[in-house]
Structure 1
Amino acid sequence: MPTTTFYNLPAPKRARLTAAIVDEFARVPFEQVSINQIVQNAGISRGSFYQYFSDKRDMLLYVLDDYRQQMTRHVLCSLQDGDGDLFVLFAGMLDFCIQFGTDPKTYGFCKNLFADAKLGCGFVLAPPEEHLPQEILEALADGVNWQTLRVRTRDDIYEMIEIMALLTKDAMTHIFRDIDRCEEIRRQYLHRLELVRRGFALV
């Protein structure tokens, strides 16, 4: 991840460097990414670059983390706007990914990243932990409208969120691997969410 020196840069310079990084990852696959091209486009020296990042994998992790933070903000706002409906939230999360993957500004970035076999979707989408971070679980559980769910305890909410997150992660992986099938993948995903919402057992 970036050094403290990077975060201490003036916001316009930091934004310009970030844009240059994203543009380069959109231009070529990971193995062909050129730090020289990035520093040229950002208007900084190569020496300055290494004061901010250790290598190109380090700067990629930064960009991905920034996108994850954007998604987290989007998710929490969606939960509030959707009156605490967990199913609306997760459907909106996938729509966010589809919009991100088809946006002309990020399409090349996604295409190159997910086409690279050495990175693979696991590197991009998998969180560092096996489960969602506790702070995310807590924030989601706090915003859920419990009256719309058959749950007994807060742990039930956590488990439900984890199950739906797994379904969503699987759909995201397929979306980014084959963005041209996004509508078909979205329909299947929404059907699975509906099955979870209804439940399977006659009780």
Structure 2
Amino acid sequence: MPKVTFFNLPDEKRNKLMEAAEKEFSRVPLSQASISNIVKSACVARGSFYQYFENKEDAFYYLLKLQTEKRRGYFFSTLEENGGDIFIAMERLFQMLLADLSNEDNLKFLQNALMNVTHEIEDSFTGLFIGQKPVGGTVEGSIDRISGLIDSSKLNITGDQEFFHVMQILTSVTFRNLVDKFSRNLSNEEAKENFRIEMELLRKGLYKS
């Protein structure tokens, strides 16, 4: 996470810095990104960058968090609109992400992240939907809201621990299918069909007869 000094910046300067970071992380993978390019584009001193972030990884994962959070609201609203059907909500989310990611001008940063995926990038994606692992039977984070919207009586699960792992499976499958779309150069229709088949198999196993 950025340092307190970053959040104390005027909105214009903060936005300019993040735009510069997104431009650089869209140009090359994180490992090849240059802080010099970011500060030059943002018109700030290199020393100032370290007043706002620990390193370039800190800026990258904060930007990834912002991009994913924009889509989390859509997921929740879709879940509510479809009576808490987690499979419909995940499928709609996947379709929306495909549409967004197909726009190279707007989301080259996310495309680049998916083409150079690491465990940290996957954790950033899934963590924003499921939060932290339950401790002592208590669900924490976004999954708490999700569990409140779902009719768990329809699922072959018992308790928050099992629901947490269900969400881990669903979000991991969603993420992997997004990666496959770009790493295997699949069309949107091919990616949608692969995702639909996997979601249907999971639905059959998780829904009560």
Q: Which residue of 1 aligns with 2:135?
A: none
Whose RCO is larger (CA < 8 A, sep 6+)?
A: 1
Residue by residue over 1:139-185, the C-alpha shift from the partner in whole angstroms, topping out at 9 and shown as x without a partner, is: 111011447x2456444544433332232232233234345434212
Q: Which runs of 5+ in 1 are unaligned?
A: none
Question: 2:156 touches 2:207 (CA, 8 Å); kept in 1?
Answer: no
Q: Which runs of 5+ in 2 are unaligned?
A: 133-139
Task: Provide TM-score, normalisation by structure 1.
Answer: 0.80
Q: Distance in 1 between matches of 2:169 and 2:45?
A: 46
Q: Distance in 1 between matches of 2:88 and 2:207?
A: 23
**What secondary structure is seen at the aligned counterpart in 2 of 1:54?**
coil
Number of matched pairs: 198
Q: CA 1:196 to 1:112, structure 2 compared with 1: closer, same or farther past 3 Å?
A: closer
Q: Which residue of 1 aligns with 2:121?
A: 124
Q: Which residue of 1 aligns with 2:94?
A: 94
Residue by residue over 1:7-52, the C-alpha shift from the partner in whole angstroms, topping out at 9 and shown as x without a partner, is: 1112222111111110111123334322222222222222221211
Q: Which residue of 2 aligns with 1:172?
A: 178
Identical residues among aligned pairs (%): 26
TM superposition shift of 1:85: 1.6
Q: CA RMSD in A?
A: 2.9
Q: Distance in 2 between matches of 1:122 and 1:52?
A: 25
Question: 1:26 touches 1:106 (CA, 8 Å); kept in 2?
Answer: no
Task: Provide TM-score, normalisation by structure 2.
Answer: 0.78
Question: 1:110 touches 1:176 (CA, 8 Å); kept in 2?
Answer: no
AA aligned to 2:51 is: Q
Q: Mean Cα displacement is larger for which, 69-78 or 171-180?
A: 171-180
Q: Distance in 2 between matches of 1:72 and 1:62?
A: 15
**What secondary structure is seen at the aligned counterpart in 2 of 1:126?**
helix
Q: CA 1:170 to 1:32, structure 2 compared with 1: closer, same or farther past 3 Å?
A: closer
